[in-house]
Amino acid sequence: MRILLLLLLAPFSAFTQSVPYYLADGLNDFSDQQFRGTNPVYVTLVGTDSMIISTSADAYEHASAYKRSHGESYLRRTATWANAMPNFAFADDNAVILIEEGGSYLLFFKDKNTADGLLGEDDKSAVLHLKDSLRSIIVADNNRQRAENGRTTGARNRKILTAYMRGLQSKRSDPTLIRDIKKWSNNETTTVYVVDANYYITRNYRGETLNENIPAVIRYHLNGKCYIQWRAFGYEALGGGAFAKDLNTYTKNDAYILATGAGGSLRLDPGVVYEIDCD
């Protein structure tokens, strides 16, 4: 099995004809039912960094394409006609192993006798050890990529929101409401932006007024950083056109504010805290 590991980490040579690879292990829980139900599969290597796996020698319409990214020892699936679950391929001239990030896998050998022999073995510990070793490489790379994507997305969103807040102005002068929102925020640095000119009236099915509310964005400092969030703020109806003096917050189904700025836009959901630049 050590020899197999070395083979699967080595580069494969270039050939363009479809070559059969025979199932050796991992049949039961792999997501792509076409591949797990096909023996053999047909592998076409294109150069040294691309591969096509199909269910027959010329059935490219029933195929998945894989490509090696720079610096990676495996190939990422780039296109498929069937299952959407991503999988990753370690391959050489003798074997191919497809691994899902969750751990499911399929192992194929070009040599049918080798594949049949391993398929019939009860002790799968060596194959599982190989699979876990290769999976750890994939998981580490994907975690790094997700972290980088998160940093990139976070920086972009912060840029959009910072620009949005620079241009935001209150559409209603309401000292009592602003005082109550600042008190509700429990933060002396809070600035309030009322984003609609008029209150919305909520009524029950009989047409009776339940409350009046209005959306407002608050901006505040906390632990050396700056944040925003928005809510619908308002007051409960007392009847006869009167409203209580205690501030409440209200959540409406599918309510959101679309923040635009810096050439982009971002949906702001109520009650969610977003970081912005302190400037």
Give me the amino acid identity at 51. M
Instruction: Give residue 81's pLDDT.
Output: 60
Whether residues 16 and 135 share a domain: the answer is yes
Q: Is residue 95 part of a domain?
A: yes
Q: Is residue 257 part of a domain?
A: yes
Q: Is residue 258 part of a domain?
A: yes
The owner of tokens 């997305």 is 153
Q: Is residue 13 part of a domain?
A: yes
Q: In the chain, what is the straight-line distance between the N-terminal and C-terminal CA atoms, in Å?
A: 59
3-state secondary structure (DSSP) of residue 171:
coil
Averages of pLDDT over each 10 residues, the chain, 279 residues: 44 64 86 82 85 81 83 83 75 89 91 90 87 92 87 91 95 96 95 96 92 96 94 94 94 87 92 91
Contact status, residue 52 vs residue 64, Cβ threshold 8 Å = yes
Instruction: Give residue 134's pLDDT.
Output: 92
Q: Is residue 15 part of a domain?
A: yes
Whether residues 81 and 134 share a domain: the answer is yes
Q: Is residue 64 part of a domain?
A: yes
Dihedral of CA atoms 22, 26, 30, 35 in degrees, nearest 10, equals 10
Instruction: Give residue 16's pLDDT.
Output: 61
Instruction: Give residue 2's pLDDT.
Output: 39
Tokens standing for 168? Answer: 């935001």
Whether residues 12 and 138 share a domain: the answer is yes
Q: Is residue 93 part of a domain?
A: yes
Range of the structural domain that residue 86 is part of: 2-142
Angle between helices 2-9 and 125-167 (to 10 degrees): 40
Number of domains present in the structure of the chain: 2
Instruction: Give residue 99's pLDDT.
Output: 92
Instruction: Give residue 10's pLDDT.
Output: 45
Whether residues 9 and 87 share a domain: the answer is yes
Cα dihedral sign, 18-22-24-27: positive
Tally the residues of the chain: 279
Whether residues 239 and 128 share a domain: the answer is no
Instruction: Give residue 48's pLDDT.
Output: 76
The span from the CA of 164 to the CA of 277, in Å, is 11
Give me the amino acid identity at 119. L
Tokens standing for 67? Answer: 């490509």
